[in-house]
Structure 1
Amino acid sequence: MTMFYEPYMESCARCENTFMTRIERTRGNCWWIACAIGCIFFFPLCYWLCCASSKDTKHFCPSCGTLLAIRKGGC
């Protein structure tokens, strides 16, 4: 597993190509927990939840679509 927020060079074991990964940012469990706590107790500080670094980043092979790594965001 890598700890990258942005695409990086990787080789895919399935299609055996080297390429720049394709990323998707999604809201994981930590994001929802932080959102609930932030909205209840720290409403003015909830702007952090809009940042890309607060979301999970999934890295995929652009050729075959294999999930290569997940970088958990936030917590």
Structure 2
Amino acid sequence: MATVVHISSPKITDSYEPCLEYCPKCETTYTTRIEQTRGNCWWITFVLGCVFFFPLCYWLCCASSKDTKHFCPSCGSLLAIRQGGC
């Protein structure tokens, strides 16, 4: 018996908030579960802010400075990414 494997890379989105995305594994549209993580841009801004311009670090508290990953709430697949900052 053959098993069908869905291999897809996450798409790029503009949403920092949960949104409707199609999950190819579940074959259904869900409102995504999000996680915000510190990406490369966050760390670069942090280092430059600490070394040269300390008030720049205030921006790092905003959600827009972090990467937002959208996951399927049912199976946990990564569906979309919103890269923050730069």
Aligned residues: 75
RMSD: 0.8
Give the helix-richer structure, 1 or 2: 1
- 1:10 and 2:10 correspond: no
4+ aligned runs moved over 6 Å, structure 1: none
| 1:45 Cα deviation after fit | 2.6
**Cα distance in 2, alignment partners of residues 42 and 55 from structure 1:** 19
**Which of the pair has more CA radius of gyration?**
2
- 1:28 and 2:10 correspond: no
Equivalences for 1:29-44 in 2 at 5 Å? Answer: 29-44=40-55
* Unmatched segments (≥5 aa) in structure 1: none
Percent of pairs with identical residues: 75
**Cα distance in 2, alignment partners of residues 10 and 69 from structure 1:** 8
**Cα distance in 1, alignment partners of residues 13 and 57 from structure 2:** 27
**Cα distance in 2, alignment partners of residues 46 and 17 from structure 1:** 40
